[in-house]
Amino acid sequence: MKILILLAGMLLFAQSAASEEPCSDLLNYKMSKLRSSEQLDFCQAFKGKVILAVNTASNCGYTPQFKGLEALYQKYKDQGLVVVGFPSNEFNQEFDEPEKTAKVCYINYGVTFHMLEKSAVKGAEANAFFKKLIQTTGQAPEWNFYKYLISRDGTSVTAFASNVTPEQLDSKINSLLMAK
């Protein structure tokens, strides 16, 4: 009887381990949060979620898009949307000091979605996550607030130019959230 119980337990363990799907290659990435030593593990935090990744800058004409990004996040976060901001100085419009970047995001615009440490988002110095986004879409950020919308399974990535507002992405996000 003990052997049967042991075998049943081993079978259940094997089934649960097999049913856990690994993260997509895209989500095998970690990065520090803005003004924090805490690392954000993308696989752990974002697996099974629709992701809107955006390269941001504090001193850009598109900076007010933070309001729209936050509104989308608030509208859809309970349905599985995550918004991730990647502050970058690629276009010479981001502060050197993370405290100033944090003030713009958190105080001026009330951002509650994930903001990460400043990094490069194009070229040889681009962070590994953006390198994968660029490789997948064939499109590197042409300016600040370039957006990448990523499906729940991480296999579909669509790039959107900076002048595409967060509000214009609402129906696309809703469609991805509804897809199972």
Which strands make up the sheet holding 147-150, listed edge to edge?
Answer: 114-115, 81-87, 50-56, 147-150, 157-160
Pairwise CA distance, residues 148 & 133, whole Å: 7
| Alpha-helical regions (H) of the chain | 2-19, 42-46, 65-76, 98-102, 128-137, 170-178
Pairwise CA distance, residues 170 & 167, whole Å: 5
Among candidate residues 23, 43, 60, 105, the one labeled active-site is 60
Active site residue 105: no
Pairwise CA distance, residues 83 & 106, whole Å: 14
Which residues in 18-164 belong to E strands, given as ranges?
30-32, 39-41, 50-56, 81-87, 114-115, 147-150, 157-160
Q: 3-class SS at 150?
A: strand
Pairwise CA distance, residues 119 & 94, whole Å: 10
Please give the positions annotated as active site.
60
